[in-house]
Amino acid sequence: MAEQRGRVVAAAHLLRYGGGEEVGEAIRGGGDINWLLYWPEASYWPDSTAAADALMRACLIQFRRWRVTRWHADGSLPAPGVYGMPEQWPHIRALYERAGFVHDGHVEIVLLARVDELPRPTAPPLEGLALRRSVGESGTRLSAHLGDEVVGFVEVETNLAEGGRLAHLGGWADVGNLHVVEAYRRRGVATWLFGQAADWLRLARADRLLDYAWPEEEAELALLARLGFRELTRTARGWHHHPGP
């Protein structure tokens, strides 16, 4: 962290990855600025950028000491929906770029909906369509079944305040996965699933729902807009240092 006049004005969290085969190739032997934040300059604190530059230099020096072979950076905070380089952090982006980091990854759109504005449960759009609830990979899975065939599912994580560590996120939920078999798309299955999910979220006392998409996923973005989702931010993921170590 960087301190000025008795106040913490910048802080960073560094990660160092091992070099063994058990570590994924993309990060093997690398170092990562998992997040770095600092107070933007203001009339009453005009030199916070200097403190942030000093902290960034210290981070890169630490990477050299570790002799890591790749330098990565991100903005992943221990809070849902806050990762990458959100467009609301132009001062952080400028700091990364001054230090030699380049965005060569992709952009993700973070969206938010009020659960009470999501569709209400309706009759199944297809004859014989039935709902089943189970444990999924990323929360509660609500599946649409036609006989023995799963034609679509949505997963929602209903407890983003798990363990009491993030109490201010009580009532927030997160879409983990959404999938509809191609042959059944544009037939109301996804909308019906979201209606069922919204009913489940109301039972869980969740009133906000996060979801994510890439700008290229035009069909999914159109669906989410119809359902009542609003764009919160666009965040840039995949930052690497050039020329690197």
pLDDT in tens, 36-69: 999 999 999 999 999 999 999 999 999 999 999 9
The pLDDT value given to residue 18: 95
The pTM score is 0.88
CATH 3.40.630.30, domain 113-233, yes or no: yes
CA angle (215 as vertex; 195, 40 as ends), nearest 5: 105
pLDDT band at 158 (very low <50, low <70, confident <90, very high): confident
Please give the structure tokens belonging to residue 44.
């009453």
Q: Rounded to 5 degrees, what are φ and ψ at 114?
A: -85, 130
- CATH 3.40.630.30 residue spans of the chain: 113-233
Are 78 and 216 within 8 A, CB to CB? no
The pLDDT value given to residue 103: 96
Q: Please, which residues have CB within 8 angstroms of residue 124's CB and are 6 or more apart in sequence? A: 130, 144, 192
Mean predicted confidence (pLDDT) in 83-88: 95
Are 141 and 153 within 8 A, CB to CB? yes
Using the structure block, give the residue that is written with the tokens 């939920």. 173
Say how far residue 114 (Cα) sits from the centre of its chain: 18
pLDDT beyond 70 at 160: no
